[in-house]
Amino acid sequence: MDNKINNELHMMFLLNFKTKELFKMFSRSKQNEIWEMIKELTIKFKETDQKFKETDQKFKETDKLLTEKFQQTDKRVKSLAKLFEDQWGKLMEALVEGGVIELFQKYGIDVNEIHQRVRKRKDGKHMEIDLLLENGADVIIVEVKTTLRSNHIVDFLERMSVFPEFFTKYKNYSVYGAVTALRIEQTADRYAEKNGLFVIKIGSDNLISLLNQDDFIPKKF
């Protein structure tokens, strides 16, 4: 190790002529003393550098550990959020399910069966319906939201357009669409009605009611 240090110091002094000349001005004993001090400093620098490397490695290991912990926590939070969303969705659907058949019967569509969360997969694509009401001749697709926004209606209309492709059983039925929500944002209800959809509001007393105008004519999809 001493030979390696000596070589490094020798190269350093060769690269600095002025330092070399200055060094010659000292006595031999003083030169040796300075030389030893420089050797000691070089060793200290190397030790310090090694410690910095070790500290950097520890930081990297700690960072990796924290990243893994954050990822695990994030997964748990997302899992809990999905669980809450699913349970809340089921609650909203249950509120609507209790009176929606009677609501449409009073309107004049005599549905008598209701199916919750109907799913269908075809050609790698998936479609899920919150509530499906039928009677052998008519079928009503109900989309349930906590807050109804215009973009929800756009998405629902797109899904309604492909409904016959997924559910060929109902190809000869009269197919209607309905959106229902606890809150309705801005003019989303009027936009839904304009596109031929039933609009159902969940009241503060958990009762549901149709918001469509008296002259409303539902669209058959």
| Domain-located, residue 122 | yes
* Residue-wise burial string across 34-68, b where 16 or more C-beta atoms lie within 10 A, e elsewhere: eeeebbeebeeeeeeeeeeeeeeeeeeeeeeeeee
- What integer pLDDT is reported at residue 82 of this predicted model? 46
CA dihedral 197, 202, 207, 208 (to 10 degrees): 0
| Domain-located, residue 128 | yes
| Domain-located, residue 219 | no
What is the span of the domain harbouring residue 132?
A: 89-210
CA dihedral 159, 162, 164, 166 (to 10 degrees): -90
Structure tokens at 7: 């070589």
Do 38 and 138 fall within a single domain? no
- CA–chain centroid gap for 125, Å, is 21
CB-CB contact of 201 with 208 (8 Å): yes
| Domain-located, residue 216 | no
Do 129 and 186 fall within a single domain? yes
Query: Mean pLDDT across the chain, nearest whole number?
Result: 79
| Domain-located, residue 75 | no
Q: 151-191, pLDDT tens digit by residue?
A: 999 999 999 999 999 999 998 999 999 999 988 998 999 99
| Domain-located, residue 82 | no
- Distance, in Å, from the CA atom of 83 to the CA atom of 81, rounded to the nearest integer, reads 5
| Domain-located, residue 120 | yes
Do 117 and 44 fall within a single domain? no
Do 201 and 103 fall within a single domain? yes
- Distance, in Å, from the CA atom of 211 to the CA atom of 182, rounded to the nearest integer, reads 12
Q: 94-133, pLDDT tens digit by residue?
A: 778 778 999 999 999 999 999 988 999 888 889 999 999 9
| Domain-located, residue 193 | yes
Final residue belonging to a domain, choices 17, 45, 62: 62
- What integer pLDDT is reported at residue 203 of this predicted model? 83
Percent of the chain with pLDDT over 70: 71
Domain count, the chain: 2
- Helices assigned H by DSSP within 25-181: 28-107, 150-166
Structure tokens at 31: 């030169």
Do 104 and 33 fall within a single domain? no
Report pTM.
0.61
